[in-house]
């Protein structure tokens, strides 16, 4: 009887150990399955993730195409602005348009949100370029307005700007002094000569070099008897050392009209006309405003003569 009890105890305990091992095997299998599942899901995307990844790639490619399109628009616009600056404005004699806001720094906070994004860099780049493009389109449209205004006044402009010789060239003895730095004939010091000196006999007629209004007619220290003409469009001309003046302040004059006579008044060595061209109150070299009524040959001859004078 006792033997039987012992045997049945052993049997039960065997049965028990068999039950434990089955549960742990199941647990291990489950664990392995979970690990495999997680690993696979890391290595292989679910269909949803795959779609998002494909969409992102497509989006990135589209941004690249967009940036290429922006780049070609930028190129086109820079060509338009180049023509404005280097062709139309010099042709019409107008200053380069300056709109400070076009060149202002970009506010970085405007693009801060993009930094968080995984494609933030490319999106920020597109935004900045589009903003830049918008500014430049604004600039171009303003520049065009300017040019249009100027073209409408082209006829008035072309008759107003100084463009002829202020004396009859057959009366010219020589160009005695050029525009620029020179040793002053009387004071012996180096200073800028603000115009050109045209030697001619006393009484030689002095012409208005463009349509204008007389803004000064009187005595000015250094200049002697001086006439100043305001041509509009930023241009003024001065005629110094005159012996006689034939116009008064406020008179309207036309190109080629006799406004005075060559003389030797003021600080002057011999009878000559001191002629100045001023643009926006700065003197410019009058030589560049002589060529309207000159043949190319005559212009070259003058330049050679000036070279001799300079030596």
Point out which residues bind Zn ion (CB under 5 A): 197, 274
Nearer to Zn ion, 42 or 190 (CB): 190
In whole angstroms, how close is the CB of 150 to Zn ion at the nearest point?
32
Pairing of strands 224-232, 212-220: antiparallel
Q: Specify the residue, 114 or 216, whose C-beta has the smaller distance to Zn ion.
A: 216
Sequence-ordered list of residues with C-beta below 8 angstroms from that of 159, at least 6 positions apart, any chain: 210, 211, 254, 255
Helices (H), 108-190: 120-152, 154-160
Q: How far is the CB of 270 from Zn ion (least distance, A)?
A: 11
Whether 224 and 209 have beta carbons less than 8 Å apart is answered as no
Give the residue nearest to Zn ion (CB): 274
| Between 215 and 264, CB nearer to Zn ion | 264
Spatial separation of the C-alpha atoms in residues 262 and 171, rounded to whole Å: 11
Cβ density class 62-80: b for 16+ within 10 Å, e for less = ebeebeeebeeeeeebeee
Shortest distance, CB of residue 240 to Zn ion, whole angstroms?
7
Per residue in 256-280, is it b (16+ CB within 10 Å) or e — as a string? ebebbbbbebbebeebbbbbbbbbe
Contact 242, 202 (CB under 8 A): no
- Minimum Å distance from CB 275 to Zn ion? 8
CB of 277 to Zn ion, least distance (A): 13
In terms of CB distance, is 124 or 197 closer to Zn ion?
197
| Least CB distance to Zn ion at residue 274 (A) | 3
DSSP state letter for 96: P
If the CB atoms of residues 218 and 270 are measured against Zn ion, the closer one turns out to be 270
Which is nearer to Zn ion, 236 or 274 (by Cβ)? 274
Q: What is the CA radius of gyration of the chain?
A: 44
Please measure the distance between the N-terminal and C-terminal CA atoms of the chain and give it in whole angstroms. 147
Least distance in angstroms from the C-beta of 196 to Zn ion: 7
Q: Output 245 or 274, the one with its CB closest to Zn ion.
A: 274
CB count in 10 Å sphere of residue 185? 14
């Amino acid at each position: 009887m006792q033997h039987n009890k012992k045997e049945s105890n052993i049997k039960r305990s065997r049965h028990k150990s068999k039950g434990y091992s089955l549960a742990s095997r199941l647990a291990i299998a489950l664990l392995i399955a979970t690990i495999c599942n997680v690993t696979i899901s890391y290595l292989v995307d679910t269909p949803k993730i795959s779609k998002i990844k494909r969409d992102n790639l497509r989006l990135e490619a589209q941004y690249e195409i967009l940036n290429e399109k922006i780049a070609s628009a930028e190129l086109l616009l820079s060509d338009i602005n180049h023509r404005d600056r280097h062709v139309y404005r010099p042709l019409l004699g107008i200053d380069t348009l300056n709109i400070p806001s076009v060149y202002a720094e970009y506010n970085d906070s405007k693009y801060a949100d993009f930094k968080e994004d995984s494609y933030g860099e490319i999106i920020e780049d597109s935004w900045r370029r589009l903003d830049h493009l918008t500014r430049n389109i604004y600039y171009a449209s303003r520049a065009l307005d300017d040019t249009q205004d100027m073209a409408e006044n082209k006829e008035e402009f072309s008759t107003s700007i100084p463009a002829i010789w202020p004396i009859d060239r057959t009366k010219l003895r020589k160009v005695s002094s050029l525009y620029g730095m020179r040793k002053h004939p009387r004071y012996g010091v180096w200073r800028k000569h603000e115009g050109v000196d045209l030697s001619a006999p006393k009484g030689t007629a002095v012409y208005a070099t463009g349509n204008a209004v007389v803004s000064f007619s009187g005595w000015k220290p250094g200049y002697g008897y001086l006439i100043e003409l305001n041509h509009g469009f930023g241009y003024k001309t001065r005629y110094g050392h005159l012996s006689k003046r034939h116009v008064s302040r406020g008179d309207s004059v036309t190109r080629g009209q006799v406004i005075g006579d060559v003389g030797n008044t003021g600080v002057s060595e011999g009878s000559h006309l001191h002629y100045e061209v001023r643009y926006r109150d700065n003197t410019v070299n009058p030589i560049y405003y002589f060529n309207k009524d000159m043949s190319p040959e005559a212009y070259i001859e003058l330049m050679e003569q000036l070279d001799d004078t300079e030596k």
